[in-house]
Structure 1
Amino acid sequence: MLHILYLVHDLCDPAVRRRVIMLQAGGAKVTLAGFRRAEQPVVRVENLTPIDLGHTQDGKFAQRLLAVAKAALSLGMKLKGVGRPDVIIGRNLEMLALAQRARAQFQGGDIPVVYECLDIHRLLLGETTVSRALRGAERLLGRRSALLVTSSPAFQRNYFTRFRQIDAPVALLQNKVLELAEQPADPAAANTAPANNQPWRIGWFGALRCRKSLELLSAFTRRMEGRFEVVLRGRPAYREFADFDRLVAAEPHIRFEGAYRNPEDLARIYGEVHFSWAIDFFEDGLNSSWLLPNRLYEGCRHGTVPIAMRQTETGRFLSDRHLGLLLDEPSVDALQACVGAMDIEAYTAARNRVGAEDRGTWVCDLRDCRALVERLRGLTCVKTPDAILQAA
């Protein structure tokens, strides 16, 4: 069985749990180690007891660098009871540094390291001394990487190729919905158009970090005087919204419904809305314009109609498939022109187009999990179970 040491930047991140499930479903043994954004240690992630590397704070770059330096000094002790892995995956740049450090802790030092990069931090994109130093460090660490895993072709096109960062094979692993059941359920039929003067609902789920989106949706729902309402779910980035709770409470047509489990709760929460907000201005023109977010796949898989900006990777993805509603500019007028006059016929047609798209566009299934693990196995000399049986 392929043994993977998975080093992550935040054990509390739901995406980490999904990746662990995916690797295990694909037939790998996973040892999980990482930092945590929560104050208290994380006891379990799925069915694993993670190795705690310490506490880091979101947005505190200097603090995170110090935490990584401390973890590097104690990594040998932390991994003392861990058997030699076949592959080490470092999720994000700081964990790539620790992955290279971890490789040296095991006998031989020839373990392939995989760099999993699902966001391009704005500090990597500037021309300051810090930005240049970070890109230099990434290039240095990336030279010894056997594979780059990223979630959007725009990251490769606009960053890794443009800056000549990583000269390694690339695996595109999109943020699809993880569905492992042999007989997957059909998308919920709850997204039917509202009746009896009930409002249209826009769902904005996941990482809530974009103040501009909240301001735009607040102004839009006020103008529409109750014809539209917005449901927020997920994890607010309070460092971006010092007054998030007060702002939401002050809006008559916006409500926050808290966290949810992914993928367990997706069908229910998306079944309660008609549109999914697939827009993020957090790093406008950079990472936010290049990513293909979780909510794009989640919303479409569960029958909602996505709303996106046209001049983004998400907009291009939808435009190529003739799906969704696309804004040309981030204004209340543009949003009103796009959805303000929505009726049952137009909505049903848009929803049916989403529903007609191939399921594989939105979903990662058991075959995909196995394919990922086999791709990782191909970096090593570890044989597949079938190959072992044939040799015997």
Structure 2
Amino acid sequence: MLHILYFVHDLADPAVRRRVLMLQAGGALVTLAGFRRDDNALASVHGVEPIELGRTKDAQFAQRVTAVARSAAKLRSALSSIARPDLIIGRNLEMLALANRAKSVFGGDMPIVYECLDIHRLLLRDDVVGSALRGAERHFGSQAALLITSSPAFVERYFRPRSGLDLPIMLLENKVLALEPAARAVAPSARPPAADKPWKIGWFGALRCRKSLALLDDFSRLMGGRFEIVLRGRPAYSEFEDFDRLVRDAPFMHFAGAYKNPEDLSRIYNDVQFSWAIDFFEEGLNSSWLLPNRLYEGGLYGAVPIAFHGTETARFLAGRKIGLTLDAADAAHLASLLGKMDEQRYLAAFEAVASQDRKQWMTDRADCQGLVQRLASLTCANQQLAEIQTLPQLHRNRGGLQ
């Protein structure tokens, strides 16, 4: 069984839970280590007791770097109770640095995998800070055997032209984890609202975009309650002046709390007609390039996605002739896009989504096994390389004995 040591930036991130479940479903033994930003029992994985390396805070990069540096100095002690892994994964740049340190602690030749699912804005700066961080990424990435990322635009816009990394790349999209046959078999059903009930737009997942919150509030007010905004997930409180107050003061918006992914997805998406697949958090950069979790979640459960013009998400939808695209980020344009929504228009948009091949939205057990096999092949390649490098030394030794 492949033993993977997985370093993560946030043990409370539901996406970390999903990746651990994927690796386990693929047949790997996972040791999870990382930092905690908050407490989220819904992100725990049964049978996995993580190695906690410290606490970090959202939107405080310097604090995170300091925390990582401190943990690196104590890493030998933190990892003393675990067996030597076959492979190490570092989820983002700080964790890649720890993965390199862990490799030296174990003193082995196990391969390192760099998993990067967001391009931090500091990496994209053209000043000395950006240059230094890209230099650090090249330095730590030079020890990696594989790069895992989630969107073609990350490769096209950053990794190939700017990062300086020269690694094999595996595209692993943020698809819904669907391990049970029942989860894969249930086709979505249309759910137009009952008479005199509002249309519902669901904004689920990592809630970090102030612009989206303000836009959806303005739009729902403009429409006089014909549209209701349902928020679920984990608000990034550091990104809002006062998230709870803003939502409380919005007459047609409510926050319905956290949910478990993937267990609760069917329930929460079947409660809405549309999925907000827009993020202006790092507008023009990471937010324009990513393919968010909610795109795949909504697609699988038949929620009509709403994307923003010019983004990778909009390109994804246009290639499949599905979803709705917003041309400008203001309430008037959103009202123009949705204001004349009726049952006939909704059903046509729903059917376009529901008719898609469901495999493009989900990751099944076979996909998980394929992922672990791909990772296992890196350990075989490392072993073969070590054997090849040993041969000249063996020949020299034999020559000396003759």
Fold conserved (TM > 0.5)?
yes
* Cα pair 2:17 2:43 within 8 Å, conserved: no
The 3-state SS of whatever aligns with 1:222 is helix
Cα distance in 2 for partners of 1:205, 1:287 equals 18
The 3-state SS of whatever aligns with 1:307 is strand
Quick one: structure 1 residues 71 and 326, their matched pair in 2 at CA, closer, same or farther if it must change by over 3 Å? same
Cα distance in 1 for partners of 2:41, 2:176 equals 27
* Cα pair 1:92 1:117 within 8 Å, conserved: yes
Query: What does residue 74 of structure 1 align with?
Result: 74
Cα distance in 2 for partners of 1:299, 1:42 equals 20
Q: CA deviation at 1:40?
A: 9.9
Query: What does residue 138 of structure 1 align with?
Result: 137
Equivalenced residue count is: 381
| One-letter amino acid of the counterpart of residue 246, structure 2 | L
Cα distance in 1 for partners of 2:260, 2:220 equals 27
Query: What does residue 333 of structure 1 align with?
Result: 332
The 3-state SS of whatever aligns with 1:69 is helix
| One-letter amino acid of the counterpart of residue 8, structure 1 | V
Cα distance in 1 for partners of 2:40, 2:267 equals 30
* Cα pair 2:6 2:88 within 8 Å, conserved: yes
Query: What does residue 84 of structure 1 align with?
Result: 84
* Cα pair 2:12 2:39 within 8 Å, conserved: no
Query: What does residue 27 of structure 1 align with?
Result: 27
Quick one: structure 1 residues 40 and 367, their matched pair in 2 at CA, closer, same or farther if it must change by over 3 Å? closer
In the superposition, the TM-score normalised over structure 1's length comes to 0.94
Q: CA deviation at 1:248?
A: 0.8
* Cα pair 2:12 2:44 within 8 Å, conserved: no
Quick one: structure 1 residues 382 and 158, their matched pair in 2 at CA, closer, same or farther if it must change by over 3 Å? closer
Query: What does residue 355 of structure 1 align with?
Result: 354
Q: Is it true that 1:257 corresponds to 2:234 in the alignment?
A: no
| One-letter amino acid of the counterpart of residue 2, structure 1 | L
Q: CA deviation at 1:84?
A: 1.1
Cα distance in 2 for partners of 1:257, 1:242 equals 19
| Structure 1 stretches lacking a partner, 5+ long | 384-392
Query: Where do 1:140-289 residues align within 5 Å?
Result: 140-183=139-182, 184-189=184-189, 191-289=190-288
* Cα pair 1:86 1:382 within 8 Å, conserved: no
Query: What does residue 392 of structure 2 align with?
Result: none
Q: CA deviation at 1:201?
A: 0.3
* Cα pair 2:175 2:296 within 8 Å, conserved: yes
In the superposition, the TM-score normalised over structure 2's length comes to 0.92
| One-letter amino acid of the counterpart of residue 238, structure 2 | R
Quick one: structure 1 residues 361 and 44, their matched pair in 2 at CA, closer, same or farther if it must change by over 3 Å? closer
The 3-state SS of whatever aligns with 1:18 is helix
Q: CA deviation at 1:43?
A: 11
| One-letter amino acid of the counterpart of residue 126, structure 1 | R
CA RMSD of superposed structures (Å): 1.7
Q: Is it true that 1:56 corresponds to 2:49 in the alignment?
A: no
Deviations 1:64-90 (A, max 9, x none): 111111111110111111111111000
Q: CA deviation at 1:188?
A: 4.3
* Cα pair 2:9 2:91 within 8 Å, conserved: yes
Deviations 1:139-160 (A, max 9, x none): 1111111000000010111011
| One-letter amino acid of the counterpart of residue 46, structure 2 | E
| Structure 2 stretches lacking a partner, 5+ long | 383-402
More helix by share: 2
Quick one: structure 1 residues 141 and 269, their matched pair in 2 at CA, closer, same or farther if it must change by over 3 Å? same
Quick one: structure 1 residues 288 and 255, their matched pair in 2 at CA, closer, same or farther if it must change by over 3 Å? same
Q: CA deviation at 1:44?
A: 4.9
Deviations 1:268-322 (A, max 9, x none): 0000000000000000000000000000000110111000012000000000000
Q: Is it true that 1:13 corresponds to 2:21 in the alignment?
A: no
| One-letter amino acid of the counterpart of residue 235, structure 2 | P
* Cα pair 2:99 2:112 within 8 Å, conserved: yes
Cα distance in 2 for partners of 1:277, 1:129 equals 36
Deviations 1:99-145 (A, max 9, x none): 000001113x3110000000001011001221110010001111111
* Cα pair 1:41 1:52 within 8 Å, conserved: no
| One-letter amino acid of the counterpart of residue 195, structure 2 | N
Quick one: structure 1 residues 201 and 21, their matched pair in 2 at CA, closer, same or farther if it must change by over 3 Å? same
Cα distance in 1 for partners of 2:255, 2:187 equals 24
Quick one: structure 1 residues 38 and 195, their matched pair in 2 at CA, closer, same or farther if it must change by over 3 Å? closer
Cα distance in 1 for partners of 2:46, 2:170 equals 25
Quick one: structure 1 residues 310 and 54, their matched pair in 2 at CA, closer, same or farther if it must change by over 3 Å? same
Deviations 1:34-82 (A, max 9, x none): 0111279999533200111011111111111111111111101111111
The 3-state SS of whatever aligns with 1:239 is helix
Which one has the largest radius of gyration?
Answer: 2
| One-letter amino acid of the counterpart of residue 38, structure 2 | A
Cα distance in 2 for partners of 1:47, 1:354 equals 37
* Cα pair 1:42 1:50 within 8 Å, conserved: no
* Cα pair 2:11 2:43 within 8 Å, conserved: no
